[in-house]
Amino acid sequence: MTILGSRRAFGRLARASSVAASLAAAVLALLAPLAAAPSALAHGSSPEPPAGFGDLLTSWSFDPSLQVPLLGVLGAYLWAVRHVNTAHPANPVPRGRVAAFVAGIVVIEIALASIVERYDTTLFSVHMVQHILLTLVAAPLLALGAPITLLLRVSRGDFRRRWLLPGLHSRVVRVVAFPVVAWVLFAGVMWASHFSPLFDEALEQLLLHQFEHLLYLGSALLFWWPVVGADPAPWRMALPARMLYVFLQMPQNTFLALAIYSAATPLYPHYATLDLPWVSALDDQRLAGGLMWIGGDALFLFAVIALIAAWMRREERDAPREDARVAAQRAEMRRREVALAERLAAERGRDAGPRGS
């Protein structure tokens, strides 16, 4: 691919990314009426008081079982970054990785401690936003933070050789991190959770709900691990394979979203029995399916575009090296051709000498 061609392709990608941004804006636009409508239409009792726009900033909860582990992980990550930067000032942890990891923790906090968490058992559409945040926003951001690489860099040599590297290449990790297995696990969790008693039961039981969040985040981290490629892994995929890997999640996400959207009756008794005055359970379910379809496909598309852009940058970066390699091969071939021609000429001269005498 020539540089001019790459620039033209990048221009097309920029236009495509603007489309993805428009889709993301459409998702946010769908959420805005969700916060405004209850304050205007609510009447009677409901599981949660009507929410207004002000609640988007003030409705935060504190759960030690969530905040303490999150603060612990964030504190350990930032301590490790500082330790590595102090020990290796010439090769510090890239700031982009730190920003991505911190952003991933913040997104988890938003999903599980903000107004999203407050209404996740009241509105299925809000619950869907929560799952999108965990699986398609927080998980890739955490993977971009390269926590495994940071752990390897901050650990002592003996601990790294004895525990970390053997664990990273253990049989269990090699199986669950195999790209096909990780892809199927992620898609399987999506389908099994939405079409099994687990989803409705988790709306009634807090511990099961928390387990569901761990299941979503864990399967998403396994899925995004080889896509991001920032950390060492038992299996590595080339960029074209990563693009296909992510792209194939789009149709299964679309089918799942349409299955939810097109259901003729509410899928979950919990939401159906709430009898909310401002939205019916079926309309809320259709909104949830639409959010999964538009929001999920837009984020998958954005990831594919990012991978294509990375592939183009790598080709442009490697082009001079590849040109030099090809030029060296051609020079070596010409040198061999000249040497062969000289040797053949010398042999013909020796053969002609005796005959001429």
Q: How much is the pLDDT for 13?
A: 39
Q: In which band, very low, low, confident or very high, does the pLDDT at 29 lie, cut at 50, 70 and 90?
A: very low
- Which range (10-24, 127-141, 287-301) has the least confidence? 10-24
For the question of whether the overall pTM of this predicted structure is more than 0.75, the answer is: yes
How confident is the model over 144-154, as a mean pLDDT? 95
Q: Give the pLDDT band (50/70/90) at residue 9.
A: very low
For residue 275, pLDDT beyond 80: yes
Which H helix or E strand runs over 164?
Answer: none
Q: Name the H helices within the chain.
A: 3-41, 55-58, 64-87, 95-113, 115-118, 124-132, 139-144, 147-154, 157-159, 165-168, 171-176, 179-194, 197-202, 206-228, 239-247, 249-261, 269-272, 281-291, 297-356
Query: What is the band of 5 on the pLDDT scale with cuts at 50, 70, 90?
Result: very low
